[in-house]
């Protein structure tokens, strides 16, 4: 697990400055405090920071081919590197280290860009190939590891984090209005955009070629929901158990201490149960809770930990919300308003005191139909041709009922009028169109829930007519890589901790996506087959526990410890003059929330995160290490 950064100049340009490469490296020290390296020549800088997990002594980067014509830096882990190494050795490749990094290099030397599709792992890869004078960037299938880039006629900049690119004085810094619109809808900036016009994210499952000053993008893998298994439920259960066990086992390869996040919910508990089957010593598990009982999962996590005999670590936190928010803004680089980042950061800090790597349950909801919004969508879709009249009735009822009931009915009515993609995305969104338009006149409107990137990429993926499959296809291309996995990567890396997600093992994903709807959702509840399998290992409460989510008492915080920060921020001269948000509208939302007439906490949190990000990244020429 590392961070990478660098640049390649176009032919005929002056050689890049090694000092710039050192600055790009230094600003992501938290991603790899154990080691660093830098390659420099007349056209290329490739830098890396290393968190040593595999081959601690021999895994230094950059890594070179035998003739030093190919140079590679890599962020991530390759879980099938031993199998690939055996295959490469049979073909005559000689290895000088035991690292997964060298397996990538040797696979590239043999197969070129075809090597990326053979990797089971999470990765951001940069390869400078002097033989062809081209830079290759590659990102893993699901976007577990980040990779930004910016290209102009003189050079291409790249890095695991945006702050590395910003060390270059000519990196674009103009806010992208479309990205800002999407942020106000969803609380994150969807790929391939970034918050800055002229800086892009390499999409998951893609590689990039930069040659002779020109960029081309290529997709090397695509998930598919088209094929459905013919296995009986009993056969499918047996196959799922086998694949889950194999996925967890593959992610236990490590030369350093490791553990797991444990919430007491189905996904993380399943991962811990399978870890326990493969380890001679108790699994180290970590959970945090808040003093507000409704937001604490400590009892559920403790119950599972006792059942599985783990070495359990827990902490009840009363965080300094103001200073914590400033830390999160620094590590996310872009405006990011998923408030569950707070407990993710805190549990990462707790785990980081004991281990260097953790397994998580991320991806389980997408693979097995676990989100409540999937269930709500399926109910709405059953209305068929009755959707339009139902929308009218709900809107009329919402107009006469008091808040918050009236607002809820009006929102459902609004959703029923939208095309399918926007209808589903309206359930993913965290800000309503009318609220967005109050805060920013250019936002909201008829395209509030539209994500152009999904239109361009094609959100079908063979989903057919199944509402569940169509929703999962959208999440695989946006919510999972741009929210869930961004949150895990940045918050774990903020604590110099590696997070691994067994539910994203490719064979397991292929099988999960092949399950018919009835194997995933049954009797009004998601994850049916996963629950049936996990019942062999877990206490009944972990199987039946309703989905809680990693939430924080945001509504209370914005009437308490965050209230003054929000009021001062919205009243400040910088906020007024910046012009990203209407200051009077923001203050009005805060007044509405504080009066307890209505909950505006999500919109206020988004606005606050946006302005604190702007103070950190727009007011400074180049951000320095936090």
DSSP string, 295-312: G--HHHHHHHHHHHT-EE
How far is the CA of 626 from the CAs of 26, 28, 80, in angstroms? 11, 10, 35
580 and 439 in contact (C-beta within 8 Å)? no
DSSP string, 146-204: --EEEE-SSEEEEESSHHHHTTSTTS--PBPHHHHHHHHHHSS--TTB-SBTT-EEPPT
373 and 470 in contact (C-beta within 8 Å)? no
Task: Give the closest residue to 557 by CA, choosing from 504, 509, 601.
Answer: 601
The vertex-453 CA angle with 171 and 165, nearest 5°, equals 15
Helix, strand or coil for residue 15?
A: coil
Q: What is the DSSP letter of 10?
A: P
Question: How far is the first Cα of the chain from the last one, in angstroms, to the nearest whole number?
Answer: 20
The tens digit of pLDDT for each residue in 475-512 reads 999 999 999 999 999 999 999 999 999 999 999 999 99
The tens digit of pLDDT for each residue in 165-193 reads 999 999 999 999 999 999 999 999 999 99
Give the pLDDT of residue 55. 55
Q: Whole-angstrom Cα distance, residue 161 to residue 171?
A: 13
Copy the structure tokens of residue 261: 């996040």
For the chain, residues with pLDDT lower than 50 are none
Q: Whole-angstrom Cα distance, residue 608 to residue 593?
A: 14
Give the pLDDT of residue 230. 96
Q: Whole-angstrom Cα distance, residue 247 to residue 275?
A: 10
**Residues sharing a CB contact under 8 Å with residue 612, sequence separation 6 or more, in sequence order:** 325, 326, 329, 569
Q: What is the DSSP letter of 283?
A: P
Q: Whole-angstrom Cα distance, residue 407 to residue 331?
A: 35
**Residues sharing a CB contact under 8 Å with residue 272, sequence separation 6 or more, in sequence order:** 260, 262, 283, 285, 304, 305, 308, 310, 359
Q: Whole-angstrom Cα distance, residue 137 to residue 113?
A: 10
Give the pLDDT of residue 390. 73
Give the pLDDT of residue 622. 58
Give the pLDDT of residue 297. 82
Q: What is the dihedral of CA 112, 116, 117, 119, to 10 degrees?
A: 130
* Residues that are catalytic: 2
Give the pLDDT of residue 467. 94
How far is the CA of 171 from the CAs of 16, 350, 508, in angstroms? 14, 35, 40
Beta-carbon neighbour count of residue 384 at 10 Å? 7
Copy the structure tokens of residue 91: 């073909």
459 and 421 in contact (C-beta within 8 Å)? yes
- How many angstroms from the chain centroid is the CA of residue 348? 15
How far is the CA of 544 from the CAs of 183, 487, 524, 530, in angstroms? 34, 26, 13, 12
Give the pLDDT of residue 136. 98
pTM, two decimal places: 0.94
Q: Whole-angstrom Cα distance, residue 363 to residue 476?
A: 9
Give the pLDDT of residue 392. 73
Give the pLDDT of residue 51. 64
Give the pLDDT of residue 415. 74
Partners of 522 in the β-ladder: 525
Beta-carbon neighbour count of residue 378 at 10 Å? 18
């Amino acid at each position: 697990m590392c961070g990478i950064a660098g640049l390649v100049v176009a032919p005929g340009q002056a050689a890049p400055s090694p000092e710039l490469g050192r600055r790009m490296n230094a600003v992501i020290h938290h991603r790899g405090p154990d080691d660093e390296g830098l390659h420099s020549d007349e056209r290329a800088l490739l830098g890396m920071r290393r968190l040593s997990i595999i081959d601690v002594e021999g895994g230094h980067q950059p890594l070179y081919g035998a003739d030093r014509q190919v140079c590679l830096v890599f962020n991530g882990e390759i879980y099938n590197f031993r199998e690939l190494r055996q295959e490469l050795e049979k073909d005559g490749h000689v290895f000088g280290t035991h690292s997964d990094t060298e397996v990538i290099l040797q696979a590239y030397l043999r197969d070129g860009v075809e090597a990326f599709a053979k990797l089971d792992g999470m990765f951001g890869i940069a390869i400078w190939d002097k033989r062809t004078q081209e830079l290759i960037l590659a990102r893993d299938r699901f976007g577990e590891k980040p990779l930004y880039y910016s290209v102009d006629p003189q050079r291409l900049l790249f890095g695991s984090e945006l702050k590395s690119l910003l060390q270059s004085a000519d990196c674009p810094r103009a806010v992208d209005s479309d990205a800002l619109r999407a942020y106000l809808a969803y609380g994150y900036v969807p790929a391939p955009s970034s918050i800055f016009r002229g800086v892009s994210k390499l999409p998951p499952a893609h590689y990039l070629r930069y040659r002779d000053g020109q960029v081309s993008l290529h997709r090397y893998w695509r998930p598919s929901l088209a094929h459905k298994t013919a296995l009986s439920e009993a056969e499918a259960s047996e196959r799922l158990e086998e694949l889950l066990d194999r996925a967890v086992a593959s992610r236990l390869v490590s030369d350093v201490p490791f553990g797991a996040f444990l919430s007491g919910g189905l996904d993380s508990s399943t991962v811990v149960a399978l870890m326990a089957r493969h380890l001679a010593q108790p699994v180290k598990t970590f959970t945090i809770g808040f003093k507000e009982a409704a937001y604490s999962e400590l009892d559920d996590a403790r119950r599972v930990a006792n059942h599985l005999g783990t070495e359990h670590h827990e902490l009840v936190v009363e965080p300094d919300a103001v200073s914590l928010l400033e830390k999160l803004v620094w590590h996310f680089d872009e405006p990011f308003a998923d408030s569950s980042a707070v407990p993710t950061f805190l549990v990462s800090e707790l785990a980081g005191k004991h281990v260097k790597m953790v397994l998580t349950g991320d991806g389980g909801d997408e693979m097995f139909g676990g989100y409540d919004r999937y269930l709500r969508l399926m109910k709405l879709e059953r209305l068929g041709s009755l959707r339009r009249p139902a929308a009218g009735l709900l809107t009329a009822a919402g107009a006469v009922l008091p808040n918050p009931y009236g607002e809820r009915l009006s929102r459902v009515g609004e959703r029923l009028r939208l095309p399918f993609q926007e209808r589903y995305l309206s359930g993913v969104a965290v800000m309503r169109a009318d609220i967005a338009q109050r805060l920013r006149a250019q936002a909201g409107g008829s395209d509030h829930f539209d994500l152009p990137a999904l239109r361009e990429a094609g959100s079908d993926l063979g989903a057919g007519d199944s509402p569940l499959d169509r929703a999962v296809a959208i999440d695989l291309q946006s919510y999972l890589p741009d929210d869930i996995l961004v949150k895990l990567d940045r918050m774990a890396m903020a604590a110099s901790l590696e997070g691994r997600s067994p539910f994203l093992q490719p064979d397991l994903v292929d099988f999960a996506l092949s399950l018919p709807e009835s194997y995933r959702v049954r009797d009004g509840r998601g994850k049916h087959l996963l629950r049936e399998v996990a019942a062999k290992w877990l206490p009944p409460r972990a199987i039946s526990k309703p989905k809680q989510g990693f939430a924080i008492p945001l509504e209370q915080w914005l009437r308490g410890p965050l209230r003054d920060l929000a009021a001062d921020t919205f009243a400040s001269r910088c906020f007024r003059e910046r012009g990203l948000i209407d200051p009077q509208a923001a203050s009005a939302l805060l007044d509405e929330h504080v009066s307890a007439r209505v909950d505006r906490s999500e919109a206020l949190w988004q606005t606050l995160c946006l302005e604190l990000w702007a103070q950190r990244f727009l007011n400074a020429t180049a951000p320095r290490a936090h």
